[in-house]
Structure 1
Amino acid sequence: MEFDLSWLLLGLPLAFGLGWLASRMDLRQWKRAQSDSPRAYYQGLNLLLNEQQDKAIDAFIEAVQHDPDTTELHFALGSLFRRRGEFERAVRVHQHLLNRGDLATSDRDRVQHELAQDFMKAGLFDRAEQAYKALQGTPFDTDARLALLGLYERSREWEQAADTAAALEKLGTGAFGTRIAHHWCERALELDGRGQPDEAAAALATARAAAPNAPRPLLLAGQRALRLGDAAGALALWGDLEVRDPQVFQLVAQDYAEAARAAGQQEAARQRLTEAYRRAPSLPLLRALARLDGAELADAPGLLPHLAAQPTLSAALGVLARPVEQWDAASAQAVREAVARAAKPLQRYRCAACGFEAQRHFWQCPGCLSWDSFPPRMLDEP
């Protein structure tokens, strides 16, 4: 049987035409798929910029369905879920990405960082800690350590917080000495509460070594010394504190006066407190001077001049505590000025819509332009 070449000549063009037609259909379908995904992506981006998060999430979900291999869409979707407080959905999105075998190392580290933030926001601190620890040695190392530091401080794990802060300082992230001192001070308070005085003293010593100029270790050490009956030791520690940080010293000024009375060093303490008051007059120092004589603030001879110079409500209350027979015109005038000064910030009207405050009543708020949003009563009225 002879082979008819005419069929071959007819079949080749037909096969070529069918192949070309099939390729065009595949190309058209591919282009349609590619165009659908960016359209949904840009639509979601536009909705996000317009603060329409619900619709933006729907658009991004549609885009992910069209192109499930696009990592950036997953990142955007996970961040949106976390911002909306839908932490479980955010975790699922990021864990789905993390389980992909074709994910680049840089993207994997980024996903791990996002997942750690999901756990942190959701209050799953144990899982957040593990997720952040997995980022050590990656480009997110510093961010992870800073997050762990905040996590340990929140959960009051002070020794781990101090170790993390020390590691950050070694990495050149910044100076953490004062923060480490606070960690060991908190640890000392915990140990004292548990009846472990020796360990508490060691923790305070570590705090002072971490930040020699920090005021809190000196303050706590003086309080511990006074509780243990060492009034002279407390005076020495607080005297050092007054030199280093006079403002913080005011927190223990009355305790300083009590320690001076217990140690029989009233005159030396009076000189120090008087000089400190001369440099920076304050009510705690004036109260401490009165305490040296076993008196209250109302009995302090310098109270009225202090009220005239600093008309505060606290000083006015001290004057009001005096017996009526000790009142005079100067006392009444000083109290009147103090009350007027304290009341002035409250003699305002506040917009119920935006919080804008003004000294006069407005029918339309100058801040948010709302009508009838100013109550007719001032802030100091019930």
Structure 2
Amino acid sequence: MEFDLSWILLGLPVAFALGWLASRMDLRQVRQDNRQAPKAYFKGLNFLLNEQQDKAIDAFIEAVQNDPETADLHFALGNLFRRRGEYHRAVRVHEHLLSRADLGKDDRERAQHGLAQDFLKAGLLDRAEEALRRLEGTAYEAEARLALLAIYERSRDWAQAAEIARRMQGANQGDFSGRLAHYLCEQATEQASHAQLDTASQLLHEAVRTAPQTPRPRIELARIQHRLSQSHDAWKTLEELAQTTPQGLPLAVPLMLEVAAATGQQAAAAQLLRVRYAQSPSLDLLDALVALNTTPTKGQGDRRDWYVHHLGLEPSLVAATKWLAGEPLTHEEHHPAVQKALEHASKPLSRYRCAACGFEARQHFWHCPGCQSWDSYPARRVEEL
């Protein structure tokens, strides 16, 4: 039987026409889908630039529905939900991304980071901690460790904070020796509150070795040594403080007066404070020199002359008020009222002020209660800044 080539000649045009029609239909569908997705995407972007977040979210939701496999749209939507405070919806978006088996490694890490941020913003610290721990070994590792550090500081979990600080120090992510010393001091304070003074002393010795130029460990160590009736060791620790970190000496003045009285080192304390005051006058050092019954000159004089001497170095309402408190006035009946007014006016000037956020307090803080910064309080009063 012979093969008829006429059928092939007739079939080729038909096959070509059918293929052409099919390709046109596919192209039309692709173009229609591509027009819908970018249109919704750019509409959402326009709303976002105009700070119309509600309309932007609606537009991005439409874009996601048209192209549910696009990860970037999901990330944009999750970020918008988080910015609006709809944390539960942001969590759902990022958890949906993490559940996708086709998600690449970079996008998976990005989704895990977004999920951790959602939990942080929502205040779910335990879930945030778990999410951040999963970012170890990723491109977000350094940022995750900083966030973990903030979580442990807020929850006062100083042991965990110290662990993270050591790992960051070991990974050359910055110098965290100062923070680590503070964490050790906080642990020592907790131990001391439970009468575990020996353990507290060990922690403080470690803090001194960790950050020799930080004043707090030596101040806290001298306090513990004094409580352990090791006042001579406490005096040596305070002498080391004056040599290594003299800027922190004003914060140790009350403790130094106690230790000097217990060890008979009042003369040595007066000399040490006098030298430091000559280098950097301070209201705290001034009060200590007055309390030690010294005078600014070697001859006979009144210990309160220190206040007049200080006024010659720098104007100070606080010093003037303290000097006036012991001065007789012509009209003694007016003295209490005048003194009360001056004390009221000078009281704000004797506070400490955070250099980072401006939070003022009557006592010195190593960790600002306002902005959570470490070592942001200078060892000087507001009037001296």
Q: After superposition, where does 1:309-320 map in structure 2 within 5 Å? A: 309-320=313-324
Describe the superposition over 1:65-118 as per-residue Cα deviations: whole angstroms up to 9, x where unpaired.
111111001111111111222211111100000000100111111111111111
- Worse-superposed segment, 309-318 or 64-73: 309-318
| Distance in 2 of aligned mates of 1:67 and 1:171 | 41
User: Do 2:232 and 2:263's aligned partners in 1 also have CA atoms closer than 8 Å?
Assistant: yes
**Which amino acid is the alignment partner of residue 320 of structure 2?**
A
> Kindly, what percent of the aligned residue pairs are identical?
50
Work out the CA distance in 2 between the residues paired with 1:137 and 1:271: 55
**Structure 1 Cα separation of the partners of residues 53 and 320 of structure 2:** 53
Q: Secondary structure at the match of 1:302?
A: helix
Task: Name the SS for the 1:56 alignment partner.
Answer: helix
1:273-292 Cα offsets, whole Å, 9 max, x none, are 11111111111001011222
Find the aligned partners of 1:86 and 1:320 in 2 and give their Cα distance. Answer: 60
Once residues 176 and 33 of structure 1 are traced to their aligned partners in structure 2, the CA distance between those partners, rounded to angstroms, is 53
1:73-92 alignment, distance < 5 Å: 73-92=73-92
Post-superposition Cα deviations, 1:127-179, rounded to whole Å, max 9, x if no partner, equal 11111111112222222222222222222111111111111121121222121
> Could you say which residue in structure 2 is the equivalent of 1:24?
24
Partners of 2:201 and 2:90 lie apart in 1 by 46
Give me the CA root mean square deviation: 3.1
Distance 1:266 1:224 in 2: 20
Aligned length: 330
Contact 1:286–1:300 under 8 Å retained in 2: no
Partner of 1:305 in structure 2?
Answer: 309
CA contact (8 A) 2:307 2:320 kept: no
Residue deviations 1:311-332 (CA, integer Å, cap 9, x gap): 233223323423443999xxx9
Distance 1:327 1:191 in 2: 54
Match of 1:102 in 2: 102
Aligned counterparts of 1:117 and 1:312: Cα–Cα separation in 2: 48
The aligned counterpart of 2:270 is 270
One-letter amino acid of the counterpart of residue 285, structure 2: L
Structure 1 alignment gaps of length 5 or more: 344-382
CA deviation after TM superposition for structure 1 residue 10, in Å: 8.3
For 2:311 and 2:90, locate their aligned partners in 1 and report how far apart those are by CA, in whole Å. Answer: 58
Provide the rounded CA distance (Å) in 2 between the counterparts of 1:131 and 1:319: 59
SS of the residue corresponding to residue 138 of structure 1 reads coil
The 2-side partners of 1:315 and 1:149 are apart by: 42
1:216 corresponds to: 216
Residues 258 and 292 of structure 1 are in contact (CA less than 8 Å); yes or no, is this contact kept in structure 2?
Answer: no
**Residue 159 of structure 1: aligned partner:** 159
- Cα distance in 2 for residues equivalent to 1:162 and 1:193: 20
- Give the CA deviation at 1:190: 1.0
Q: TM-score, normalised by structure 1?
A: 0.78
C-alpha change, 1:99 and 1:327, in structure 2 (3 Å) is farther
Q: Give the aligned partner of residue 321 of structure 1.
A: 325
Paired residue secondary structure (1:307): helix
Q: How far, CA to CA, are the matches of 1:327 and 1:267 in structure 2?
A: 38
**2:45 aligned with 1:45:** yes
Task: Give the alignment of 1:280-299 within 5 angstroms.
Answer: 280-293=280-293
